[in-house]
Homo-oligomer: A and B are copies of this chain.
Amino acid sequence: MPKRVDHDERRHRIAEALWRIASERGLDGASLRDVAAEAGISLGQLQHYFRTKDDMLVFALGHISELAARRIGARVGSLAGDPSPRTLLRETLAEMLPLDDKSRTGQLVQIAYFVRAVHDERLRRHAKEGIPALREFFAAQIRRATEGGDIAADRDPDTEAMLLISLVDGLTGYVLLDVLPGEEAMRLVDAHLDRLFT
């Protein structure tokens, strides 16, 4: 039987090779040739999947978002009983912060994308894709808490959702720069949640 290649597996292996490079030295330095070498395949094999660096970047970005969503889903899914909106928000925010090596790498890759996306319209379109869904998930928890009387009715869920997302993004930068230890960032998130919830 001829050797079968698992194309999905190979695409993901390429995305992960790209990540390792991006988290160490950003995306500008990552040529197709470098990524092929890091993934242990030939440049020709890589080009079978991605003709240009842009195609590869867009795919790997989708792969990041998918893994991050899956990580959050797994964490939230493992919570016992019927978690409160506050618990769901807190666990999601904790998973977004770079508190362990895996999420630290993920955040470094996202920042490498961010820097490139500011100057690259196609990438910017993709970089923004996940934000409305995240904002809506947060807003839904806030609405649920408001209905349960745990958040004051005059708080606008959509505004509070975007404040939470922006806050955790800002904190992420300061954790990566060693300005804040991870636990201190989490304490700040809790302080903010204390003010949001009555």
A156 at the A/B interface (Cβ < 8 Å)?
yes
Q: State how many angstroms separate the Cβ of A26 from the closest Cβ of chain B.
A: 6
**Cβ-neighbour of A170 out of B28, B128, B168, B191 (below 8 A):** B168
- Size of the chain A interface, CB-CB below 8 angstroms: 40
A43 at the A/B interface (Cβ < 8 Å)?
no
A140 at the A/B interface (Cβ < 8 Å)?
no
**Cβ-neighbour of A111 out of B115, B156, B166, B180 (below 8 A):** B115
Residues of A within 8 A of B (CB): 24-26, 28-29, 108, 111-112, 114-115, 117-119, 124, 127-128, 131, 156, 159, 162-163, 165-171, 173-174, 176-180, 187-188, 191-192, 195
